[in-house]
Structure 1
């Protein structure tokens, strides 16, 4: 199970000591406060925000009050919550990003064909971030939507994206991110994880068997440009009790591979790459 506060902390600490004179600490703090809210913890106190983000309580309070004045947050007098206006920030990305626009109908197509949940994600810092999703049913204990974040090392899409990194960047990731066991099946040894990523690179897809959550299997493929650059990943998730690993490769993987090829062609038309 993915803990809400653990998710929120990933990549939220503002670079207070950034040497760049153009860096706006106040903006970084405000964004870290926004990212502290999750589906599991939609209502937070000032103390909660300060603990999750690492900000002083006074700074957390000022950020929250500013968000309230701008209409992005609300309060019941003790706890704070995000308001619907915050969706405009995410919509700005989705409406201007051809990648999400291109992948959304393809994901719907794959999901309808296999009758399983299908998603697309990109690598953001040390996590995968969902940019498109078609869910046939809820198969995880935590709800996933566009904007959801999950650790890259134990998810099929994350492994596809990590496997595409240059060697130096991958080594930096492995030394920076200590893998934690979500289940007894989670690969946590750095050497074993690197070997698995090499296997993913050789096979061209990743199949993760109950490493993020027991009872959940997932298979993913990379989304490439015409030049071969991996820009995203697409996966299908299914309940382990219903679909075996070999069945995922035979029955689900070909649908993903066809969609990935179609996405490559559409990206060329949209971006000329």
Structure 2
């Protein structure tokens, strides 16, 4: 099985699937905040490859300039940022998404983000914040378990019933805090409640100190293609205060973003997939 595959994905790969490329991408993705530098054997364990296959991929990535090496430990180089920036600028993120995020932060302070669903996770594709405290970073490109974020639960609520049940059956929620919901049945009920109300609130699910409110961003057919949130510090805001004070403007911003996305075919194609 190729690194990064879900158990049922191997049989759905096209005949033209390039195994070597998939291995290289898996190696790039295995570096993170807690694994910033790794030996060859550590990388191999992280991606589930043999040391020989890992070495070939690392040498290729090092030759291309995406990976560096010091004292037998490998690390990413700044060149890796060109891959993310290519998406950022081609998708017109700054032009289409950031104006409303800035507007929400100017109105309420704190932070605002847009995210999309990717497998079991939510990926942040836009973010704006005035917060400076140390906590789970909602930077562009960050990914977190969808079930533990307000954005993710909104996105899950937009799935068809069979897809949602499949998601619940596949996940193994981690207790990121003492308040993180990890019981599958309770998570399922939470998502159904989000589907009913049209918004999600979370308190200290992803990290301590984060209370958030999220709403869907829908395409012209009503399909949820992304989610928009606003968040603040637990103790300074509550789910009830976020709903009362921010929900109307958050929904208005989501509507504006949806309209803006519809005017950019590339962004619509990227987010709508």
After TM superposition, list the pairs within 5 Å mapping 1:202-221 onto structure 2.
202-221=196-215
* Offset from partner CA, 1:121-167 (integer Å, 9 cap, x none): 10011100010011211345333311110000110000000000011
Query: Counterpart of 1:6?
Result: none
SS at match of 1:226: coil
Farther-moved stretch of structure 1 (14-23 vs 131-140): 14-23
SS at match of 1:153: helix
Q: CA deviation at 1:249?
A: 1.1
SS at match of 1:131: strand
Query: Counterpart of 1:231?
Result: 225
**Pair 1:52-2:46 in alignment:** yes
Q: Which runs of 5+ in 1 are unaligned?
A: 1-10
**Pair 1:12-2:4 in alignment:** yes
Q: Is the 8 A contact 1:14 1:32 kept in 2?
A: no
Distance in 2, Cα, partners of 1:222 & 1:140? 27
* Offset from partner CA, 1:171-197 (integer Å, 9 cap, x none): 111111122222222222222111111
**Pair 1:265-2:259 in alignment:** yes
**Pair 1:80-2:74 in alignment:** yes
Q: Work out which of the residue numbers 223, 245, 248 in structure 2 matches 1:251.
A: 245
Q: Is the 8 A contact 1:208 1:218 kept in 2?
A: yes
Query: Counterpart of 2:271?
Result: none
Distance in 1, Cα, partners of 2:94 & 2:144? 18
Q: Which runs of 5+ in 2 are unaligned?
A: 269-273
Quickly say closer, same or farther: Cα 1:161–1:118, change in 2 above 3 A: same
Quickly say closer, same or farther: Cα 1:213–1:14, change in 2 above 3 A: closer
Distance in 2, Cα, partners of 1:202 & 1:100? 32
Q: Work out which of the residue numbers 193, 196, 212 in structure 2 matches 1:199.
A: 193
Quickly say closer, same or farther: Cα 1:141–1:47, change in 2 above 3 A: farther
Distance in 1, Cα, partners of 2:28 & 2:150? 27
Distance in 2, Cα, partners of 1:112 & 1:41? 35
SS at match of 1:95: helix
Distance in 2, Cα, partners of 1:226 & 1:27? 35
Distance in 2, Cα, partners of 1:180 & 1:58? 32
Quickly say closer, same or farther: Cα 1:150–1:126, change in 2 above 3 A: same
Q: CA deviation at 1:101?
A: 4.5
* Offset from partner CA, 1:80-117 (integer Å, 9 cap, x none): 11111111111222222256742122112212221111
Q: TM-score, normalised by structure 2?
A: 0.89
Distance in 2, Cα, partners of 1:216 & 1:140? 11
Quickly say closer, same or farther: Cα 1:41–1:122, change in 2 above 3 A: same
